[in-house]
A and B are shown apart, each in its own frame.
Chain A
């Protein structure tokens, strides 16, 4: 089997408009959650989110591009650009045939949907812009990344709600490991901070109106965010031969389904995914130093996740660190695993563990080292990234420093 390494990363989130600034935000424990600035916010009961304030697509894209790019596509393209620049990859005609892109998203072009539903239902218009379909389709971001970088191999989108990015990156890992491709751009993108996107989540009654406080006894729900992250996954020998800087190695991946409940998380399914990733990577549990938690800040997720980690790691659960960066950038739904992967790379490469901010009161049901409020310097060789989606779909990725 081929080895798979990361040679580039790019992102945009409420913490910053690049991977570099997003990681800076994580290091500083900065709060990227603030009052939402969106149309009809006064009709929402949840008025906060991890929004990329001051963002204007026209700062980055031409008019001709913008008519085709929903915000989730713009976020993906900006991230891909940063990742490709860092990787220094030159996609030759030969390489293009062995390169692809797999992106995660849960909602696709929601800005386009929201705006055009308003046009036809609210404003009573009988005509919509001709590009509504190519803008809103779930694969738009993956396709535009493919076109921008001439990636002619496998290209598609994975939609598994909050685990979309991890499933996408896991599949990209499989593609290279199996020898099917040499280079994959992969990650996830989401821009659900529109009236309909938040109103829908309000209905479930799992949202916090004030803050995301994962693992804290007084947590009262999740907070949505928006943004994207894209990584360049590359076959190890290929990266080495061209002298590329390697950020980390992807060493394992596992996915499981709870086959149980459409919204309630399940300890057994989560634990099987974590164990599966260790097994796939050939790791002992005690080699894991850091876990980027799913850590949504809901009562049920956080205690279920902690129980699953205890179940898998036994006494080592008390030695490893596990934090939720959603406390800072919010829950990016289909894009969340990708942005959170940055925290794993930061732990492995820079020896800095991103904190769980907003942590106020210990909860006996979440009694792990959640790196409360302040980032920590620590040497870590192996990190995991958890994602557990609605629908009972779990996906865990293992990374190693190199």
Chain B
């Protein structure tokens, strides 16, 4: 059975946060999970590799990037959008 986008994104975030997937709540922020800018860049890379997509993200201005990192939920939604657009 293939994992949902949501499960895979949570797994990627959990790995960066060094937490169990069950501890990563949808409304959690990266800051709240203790993920710093390097961790975020690594998570973006993992997302690109996992889903074979290009994530529009510039660490110079995360807020201005088209990749919404407000919380876990918004990141999942963004990845779902990218996956749908890529037709993967």
Asked if A220 contacts B45 (CB within 8 A), the reply is no
Name the contact of B57 in the complex, choosing from A205, A208, A263 (C-beta under 8 A).
A205
Name the contact of A298 in the complex, choosing from B41, B57, B60 (C-beta under 8 A).
B60
In the complex, chain B residues whose CB is within 8 Å of the CB of A204: 41, 59
Asked if B38 contacts A205 (CB within 8 A), the reply is no
In the complex, chain A residues whose CB is within 8 Å of the CB of B38: 262-264
Residue of A whose beta carbon sits closest to that of B65 = A205
Total interface residues on B, CB under 8 Å, equals 12
Total interface residues on A, CB under 8 Å, equals 15
Cβ of A239 to closest chain B Cβ, rounded Å: 44
Interface of A is mostly: loop
In the complex, chain B residues whose CB is within 8 Å of the CB of A243: none
In the complex, chain B residues whose CB is within 8 Å of the CB of A45: 54
- Give A191-230 interface residues, CB cut-off 8 Å to B: 203-206, 208, 219-221
Evaluate whether A220 and B37 lie within 8 angstroms (CB atoms) in the complex, with A203-B45, A205-B44 already known.
Answer: no
Name the contact of B61 in the complex, choosing from A203, A220, A262, A263 (C-beta under 8 A).
A220
Asked if B41 contacts A220 (CB within 8 A), the reply is no
Asked if A219 contacts B45 (CB within 8 A), the reply is no
Asked if A221 contacts B41 (CB within 8 A), the reply is no
A146 at the interface (CB under 8 A from B): no
Asked if B59 contacts A219 (CB within 8 A), the reply is no
Name the contact of A299 in the complex, choosing from B41, B44, B54, B60 (C-beta under 8 A).
B60
Asked if A264 contacts B60 (CB within 8 A), the reply is no
Interface readout for A170-201 with B: 1 if CB under 8 Å, 0 if not? 00000000000000000000000000000000
Interface readout for A240-275 with B: 1 if CB under 8 Å, 0 if not? 000000000000000000000011100000000000
B50 at the interface (CB under 8 A from A): no
Asked if B60 contacts A206 (CB within 8 A), the reply is yes
B58 at the interface (CB under 8 A from A): yes
Cβ of A267 to closest chain B Cβ, rounded Å: 16
Query: In whole angstroms, what is the CA distance A263 to B36 when docked?
Result: 11
Query: In whole angstroms, what is the CA distance A203 to B44 when docked?
Result: 10
Asked if B41 contacts A219 (CB within 8 A), the reply is no
In the complex, chain A residues whose CB is within 8 Å of the CB of B59: 204-206
In the complex, chain B residues whose CB is within 8 Å of the CB of A299: 60-61
Query: In whole angstroms, what is the CA distance A219 to B59 when docked?
Result: 12
Query: In whole angstroms, what is the CA distance A300 to B38 when docked?
Result: 13
In the complex, chain A residues whose CB is within 8 Å of the CB of B61: 220, 299
Give 4 new A-B contacts, CB below 8 A, not counting A205-B57, A205-B59, A220-B64.
Answer: A205-B60, A221-B58, A263-B38, A298-B60
The 6 closest A-B pairs by CB, nearest first: A205-B59, A299-B60, A221-B60, A220-B60, A206-B59, A205-B41
Q: List 17 A-B contacts (CB under 8 A).
A: A203-B41, A204-B41, A204-B59, A205-B41, A205-B58, A205-B60, A206-B58, A219-B60, A220-B58, A220-B60, A220-B64, A221-B60, A262-B38, A263-B38, A264-B38, A298-B60, A299-B60
